[in-house]
């Protein structure tokens, strides 16, 4: 892959990487979606940047804290490291119009999907052009955020995440993904 043009894969978290049981924050209850860990490793092995962009309104609603979410992410990263995989950055939006704390109570925060703030920040932080990235999400709000950020949106509708990533990575990098 051309080092002058970094590539990026943006993963939604709940429902794409981990099974969405509703407000996932307990590291002991982390359950990976089939093929998700292998998909992240494929992205890494292809030389692309792997990031997560996740709405986390449960923080704003008071269901759990940022520290709880960070512990969940730490467990994700620990388990990925076991297979030699990594996430390069995690972006989250704890905002919600009904949040209990003022700092999180925002009706239409630019980071909360379907707004593209998290995606635009990820692209800027890593110097990636929108055409050199795609997002995998399972909700219309993910696809709308991708569209607004100018990146290709790929719908995950179930099954093996790795099987979805392989052809998308090949298209992104312009080469066969082993």
Instruction: Confirm whether 1 is domain-assigned.
Output: no
Instruction: Confirm whether 137 is domain-assigned.
Output: no
Range of the domain at 48: 8-127+143-172
Of the pLDDT bands very low, low, confident and very high (cuts 50, 70, 90), residue 4 is: low
Give me the CATH number covering residue 105. Answer: 3.40.50.1000
Residue 14 is among the residues annotated as catalytic for this protein: yes
Single out the catalytic residue among 14, 68, 111, 142: 14
Residue 45 is among the residues annotated as catalytic for this protein: no
pLDDT digits (tens, 9 = 90+) for 111-152: 999 999 999 999 999 999 999 999 999 999 999 999 999 999
Instruction: Confirm whether 3 is domain-assigned.
Output: no
pLDDT digits (tens, 9 = 90+) for 47-106: 999 999 999 999 999 999 999 999 999 999 999 999 999 999 999 999 988 888 888 998
- Own/partner contacts of 39-42, CB < 8 Å, gap of 24 or more, are 39/11, 39/161, 39/162, 39/164, 39/165, 40/11, 40/80, 40/85, 40/86, 40/87, 41/80, 41/83, 41/84, 41/85, 42/162, 42/165, 42/166, 42/169, 42/177
Of the pLDDT bands very low, low, confident and very high (cuts 50, 70, 90), residue 46 is: very high
Largest CA distance in the chain: 49
Instruction: Confirm whether 138 is domain-assigned.
Output: no
Instruction: Confirm whether 150 is domain-assigned.
Output: yes
Single out the catalytic residue among 12, 68, 132, 142: 12
Number of domains in the chain: 1
pLDDT (0 to 100) of residue 2: 44
pTM: 0.95
Instruction: Confirm whether 37 is domain-assigned.
Output: yes
pLDDT (0 to 100) of residue 98: 85
Instruction: Confirm whether 2 is domain-assigned.
Output: no
Instruction: Confirm whether 178 is domain-assigned.
Output: no
pLDDT (0 to 100) of residue 1: 43
């Amino acid at each position: 892959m051309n080092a002058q043009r970094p590539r990026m894969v943006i993963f939604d978290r709940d429902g794409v990487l981990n099974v969405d049981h509703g407000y996932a924050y307990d590291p002991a209850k982390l359950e990976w979606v089939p093929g998700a860990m292998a998909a992240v490793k494929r992205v890494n092995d292809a030389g692309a940047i792997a990031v997560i962009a996740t709405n986390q309104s449960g923080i704003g609603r008071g269901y759990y804290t940022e520290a709880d979410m960070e512990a969940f992410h730490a467990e994700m990263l620990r388990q990925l490291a076991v297979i030699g995989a990594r996430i390069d950055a995690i972006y989250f939006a704890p905002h919600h119009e009904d949040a209990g704390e003022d700092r999180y109570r925002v009706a239409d925060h630019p980071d909360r999907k379907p707004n593209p703030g998290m995606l635009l920040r990820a692209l800027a932080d890593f110097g990636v052009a929108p055409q050199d990235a795609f997002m995998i999400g399972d909700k219309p709000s993910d696809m709308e955020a991708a569209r607004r950020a100018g990146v290709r949106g790929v719908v995950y509708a179930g099954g093996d995440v790795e099987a979805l990533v392989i052809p998308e990575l090949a298209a992104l990098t312009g080469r066969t993904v082993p």
